[in-house]
Structure 1
Amino acid sequence: MSDQPVAPVPPFEPPYYTVVFTSLRTEPDHGHDDGYDGTADLMDELVTTVPGFLAVESARTPGGLGITVGYFRDADAIKQWRGRAEHRTAQRRGREEWYEKYAVHIAKVERSYGFERGA
């Protein structure tokens, strides 16, 4: 997760798709993340190369719940991301090392709007 300014992703022109990844991390061994942060940064970088990728945003609660939402123009873009070798390797490590549990929700967005004070 990068050090980008904190702001919501703006609305996109529908239809588009979201991939919502919610997770609960394992306890890192001896305070080390075992490559988790570096892999998360790499995934944030690589997903931007997928044709049809729109944006990504992530947050983690103090209790440890992580939420990452990826925004994609179409289902084919999601399929391309899912098939990337580096992403599949990160998924495997996630199941083996980094997550107690996770869930993935994929949805087609048919309505999108926002608000910004002073805009």
Structure 2
Amino acid sequence: MTPKLVADIEPPYYTAVFTSVRPDAPEDYAETAARMDELAREMPGFLGHESARTPGGIGITVAYFRDLESLDAWRVHSEHRAAKAHGREHWYDSYSVHIGKVERSYSFERE
């Protein structure tokens, strides 16, 4: 299966870029990640996300939101907050979050 990128979103929109360092397979991470994916997809204004992880443990997830209000609603969602706290305590060696406004966007896909 070919991965599908998030594309064709009309700007402006916002991104939350989450970059992390963690061990390869921490306990209960996959289940929590699946639940966060499910919750995010239910959030008004959520446009999609993309993730990648290196064999060395660096991960990057970019989530796309229609507006800052949608992004903030995700940031303070009770289950998401609990997952973040659990991650700080059990999974991540370090992480950073960058919020940005996208004013121009384009994509390419080979046919």
CA contact (8 A) 1:26 1:97 kept: no
Give the 3-state SS of the residue equivalent to 1:69 in structure 2: strand
- CA RMSD across the alignment: 1.4
TM-fit CA distance, 1:62: 1.3
TM-fit CA distance, 1:11: 3.0
| Stretches of structure 1 lacking an aligned partner (at least 5 in a row) | none
Mapping 1:1-119, distance limit 5 Å: 5-26=2-23, 33-118=26-111
The one-letter amino acid of 2:3's match is V
Give the TM-score taking structure 2 as reference length.
0.94
| Stretches of structure 2 lacking an aligned partner (at least 5 in a row) | none
- Quote the sequence identity (%): 57
The one-letter amino acid of 1:22's match is T
